[in-house]
Amino acid sequence: MSDNLIWASAAELGRCYSKKILSPVEVTQQILERADRLQQHLNFLVLIDREGALEAARASEARWMAGMPASPLDGVPTSIKDTTTVKGWPTRYGSHATDETPAAEDAPVVARLRAAGMPILGKTTTPEFGWKALTDSPLQGTTRSPWNLAHSPGGSSGGAATMTAAGVAPLNHGNDGGGSIRIPAAHAGLVGLKPSFGRIAQYPADSPFADVVSQGVLARSVLDSALALNATAGPDPRDWRSLPADRRDYTIGLDDGVRGWKVGLSLDLGHVKPDPEIRDLVAAAARRFEALGAHVEEVGPLIEPLQLFFEPLWIGSFATRLRQIPSQLHGKLDPGFRAAAEKGMSITLADYAKSYEARSKLARDLALWYRKYDLLLAPVTPTAAPSVDTLYNSEAFPRWTKGAPYTLPFNLTGQPAASMPAGLTATGLPVGLQMVGAPRADHLVLRAMRAYESAGGWTWPQPKVIETLARL
């Protein structure tokens, strides 16, 4: 497997399989070897299932040889974030408060990736209970960015982001309850789509954040993101929140462009203060839509500061989790998570009710905004990737102003939103442009992503990543 094929997209691998010039077994074996080599430096996996992945690859090879692939992604290796159940594997959430009990069944997204024929390599790192937009945990240690090992890939799908950006599988599963796909995608120079809430069924939905989390993948191309959504979208009887079945093929119309669209650009959403370099890169990236035939205009304040209205939901949910953990294990928790959870113990039902009222208003106001506009553009984060020793939700890096101020609103509203590469800072770190669609308009967000991608010139492998990995 050549270096070029290490960086091949999932779609390219599928085409090679169909022509019988490449084998799923060969690809899976090479990716497992690459994972072994890079894991000690980057720390992106918490579990590797070599035999299971190779067995799935052999079955895939047989289907391709018979001309009966399960899907265009058949034989393309992937991984699952360790907040998601995989039958026979533990779900540790990066926490000493969990154990090695194997899951009794696959989550819907896992079952659908298996049905698509994708060998599952293992499970990826996450911060404890997915609580923050960095990826380090008491149980599993620190995950590092392949762009610069001194920096975090973001979180909470940081293991998936590092794998994808380091050339270990072309797409990897993640989920997003406050920016956990889009933030690591931005920090790793990847394509990261958070589909509409409910587009991909989730079960078990026992997390306190179950009504804001969307499943998805981190990828290196928009076509791969569309193929993954084709494979995973759909309801499940175990998830009453999941959207009705939609037989849409998200690759159809992907190249129809954005000519004539009216696009709103908000560099601060009305209250966020991005670094000047972030502001300039995102503004320049947004101007590409003008060249694509869209009309782009800066819009006024859209969203009030989030903390006043929505902190009760966040810390109150952490408190719910803390109450489930035996007190003798509290000392082993991430101190930042524990502090937020203990603060949440004082949240009342009235506090929760006010937050849900504010959430309803936010969703209504933004839905009405799309009567005038086709797409909203904004930064993904106010800073580039923080260093690995950053204390999340500290005075130096508050959640509400530096962690997730641009991404969380669209989890609260359930809208589809994505991150696309917007360039590099002077220090060589990626920046993300966020694209937010109207409620349930996933196909239009993908179409905008593809139009932008076609005009952007961002390709893999990125020289800075090759340079960093070559030193390992």
What is residue 282's predicted lDDT score, i.e. its pLDDT?
98
Is the pLDDT reported for residue 119 higher than 60? Answer: yes
How far is C-alpha 237 from the geometric centre of its chain's CA atoms?
A: 24
Residues composing the chain: 472
What is residue 5's predicted lDDT score, i.e. its pLDDT?
83
Number of domains in the chain: 1
Q: pLDDT tens digit string along 55-93? A: 999 999 999 999 999 999 999 999 999 999 999 999 999
Max CA-CA distance within the chain?
A: 62
Domain assignment present for 292: yes
Partners of residue 377 on adjacent β-strands: 265, 435
Distances (CA, A) of 301 to 197, 298, 349: 24, 10, 30
What is residue 2's predicted lDDT score, i.e. its pLDDT?
66
End-to-end, the C-alpha distance of the chain in Å comes to 20
What is residue 459's predicted lDDT score, i.e. its pLDDT?
95
What is residue 3's predicted lDDT score, i.e. its pLDDT?
72
Q: Which residue has the higher pLDDT, 210 or 164?
A: 164
Domain assignment present for 325: no
Cα separation, 334 vs 138, in Å, equals 6
Q: pLDDT tens digit string along 377-413? A: 999 999 999 999 999 999 999 999 999 999 999 999 9
Q: pLDDT tens digit string along 401-456? A: 999 999 999 999 999 999 999 999 999 999 999 999 999 999 999 999 999 999 98
Confidence class for position 200, pLDDT limits 50, 70, 90: very high
Cα separation, 470 vs 345, in Å, equals 48
Q: pLDDT tens digit string along 24-64? A: 999 999 999 999 999 999 999 999 999 999 999 999 999 99
Cα separation, 436 vs 192, in Å, equals 12
CA nearest to 191, candidates 10, 15, 70: 10
Asked if 111 and 156 count as a contact pair (C-beta separation under 8 A), the reply is no
Is the pLDDT reported for residue 278 higher than 70? Answer: yes
Confidence class for position 13, pLDDT limits 50, 70, 90: very high
Average pLDDT of span 456-464:
94
Domain assignment present for 147: yes
Residues annotated catalytic, as ranges: 81, 156, 180
**What are the start-end ranges of the H helices in 287-369?**
288-291, 307-323, 335-344, 349-369
Confidence class for position 4, pLDDT limits 50, 70, 90: confident
For residues 11, 12, 15 and 20, what is the CA-based torsion angle, rounded to 10 degrees? -130
Is the pLDDT reported for residue 209 higher than 90? Answer: no
Q: pLDDT tens digit string along 288-343? A: 999 999 999 999 899 999 999 999 999 999 999 999 999 999 999 999 999 999 99
Q: What percent of the chain has pLDDT over 70?
A: 99
What is residue 205's predicted lDDT score, i.e. its pLDDT?
82
Domain assignment present for 329: no
- Which residue type, as a one-letter code, is found at position 471? R
Report strand pairing: 262-265 vs 375-379. parallel
Domain assignment present for 241: yes
Is the pLDDT reported for residue 262 higher than 70? Answer: yes
What is residue 207's predicted lDDT score, i.e. its pLDDT?
73
What is residue 173's predicted lDDT score, i.e. its pLDDT?
98
Is the pLDDT reported for residue 206 higher than 80? Answer: no
Is the pLDDT reported for residue 1 higher than 60? Answer: no
CA nearest to 335, candidates 467, 190, 138: 138
| Domain CATH for 177 | 3.90.1300.10
For residues 95, 213, 316 and 390, what is the CA-based torsion angle, rounded to 10 degrees? 50
**Enclosing domain of residue 440:** 3-308+343-470
Domain assignment present for 333: no
Domain assignment present for 286: yes
Domain assignment present for 315: no
Q: Does the pTM exceed 0.95?
A: yes
Contacts of 30 (CB under 8 A, 6+ apart): 1, 5, 6
